[in-house]
Amino acid sequence: MSLIFRPLFEKESSTYTYLLADSKTKEAIIIDAVSDTKQRDIGLIEELGLNLKYIIETHVHADHITSSCPLKAQFTQAQIVLSEASLVACADVLIKDGECLKFGEFTLTALATPGHTNGCMSYVVGDKVFTGDALLIRSCGRCDFQEGSADKLFDSIQKIFTLPDETYVYPAHDYGGRTVSSIWEEKAFNEMIGGNVDKQEFVRRVNAMVLSLPAKIHVAVPSNQVCGARIMINKP
């Protein structure tokens, strides 16, 4: 038994999409797929002969449109998975903290990690954790929209930090060209929460961030609340 693992990148929003599969059964999952790169992802899934079982979102994104529904239209057996705390009506599975999903001989475990949004969920597969926008490489998610809370995010990252130090950290974004980190690295070097920063200082740092809104937020959020399905507007 071995894991097929393909990190994929969408450069406009600096989003990582992750394709994982059991090499024996060919059952596969995809995490945080992007509309702009759906043909790339479909092509790779078909080329590798994979059976896509789950289309997983770490949260309702604000900077790009998901390809969840287009992927489900292509791979009709696949189920769309989001946190039970997400404000969506399109998911086939609303997963809860601690629940598991199987693909082949591998198990994905959900960790509720709210803070960037209420519906943020991280996912653990073996020695890998997919942290969405909760824990980034040397940083963390912003908390100034979509019911964000720096207080909640601190607790969520501490929860992630209970994983073994050697666990690989794969975030939803990186803006510096870095592809992977580890729990011990982020504990030591993360600029927002590393070095045993306390909650009060973390909240101060997060709330002091001055960032412009994502360019696509007004399109991306409503589109992602329907999992990237085309919204039909009836004109008179």
Q: Which CATH number belongs to the domain containing residue 142 in this structure?
A: 3.60.15.10
- In this prediction, residues 137-144 reach a mean pLDDT of 95
> Is 230 a domain residue?
no
> Is 40 a domain residue?
yes
Q: How far is CA 2 from CA 21, 102, 129, 136, 179, in A?
A: 9, 14, 17, 27, 21
Longest dimension (CA), the chain: 59
> What total number of domains does the chain contain?
1
> Is 232 a domain residue?
no
Which tens digits make up the pLDDT trace of 213-225? 777 787 888 888 8
Q: pLDDT value at position 214?
A: 77
C-alpha–C-alpha distance, residues 231 and 211, integer Å: 29
> Is 50 a domain residue?
yes
List beta partners, residue 47.
Answer: none
C-alpha–C-alpha distance, residues 30 and 45, integer Å: 10
Q: pLDDT value at position 60?
A: 92
- In this prediction, residues 52-79 reach a mean pLDDT of 94
Residue 35, CB half-sphere, CA atoms under 13 Å: how many?
16
User: Could you tell me the pTM of the whole model?
Assistant: 0.94
> Is 129 a domain residue?
yes
Residues 41/71, Cβ–Cβ less than 8 Å: yes
pLDDT at 233 over 60: no
Highest mean pLDDT among 12-16, 87-91, 219-223: 12-16
Owning domain of residue 69: 3-224
C-alpha–C-alpha distance, residues 5 and 85, integer Å: 28
> Is 207 a domain residue?
yes
C-alpha–C-alpha distance, residues 222 and 37, integer Å: 19
Q: pLDDT value at position 169?
A: 98
- In this prediction, residues 122-149 reach a mean pLDDT of 95
Q: How many CB atoms lie within 10 A of CB 137?
A: 24
> Is 233 a domain residue?
no
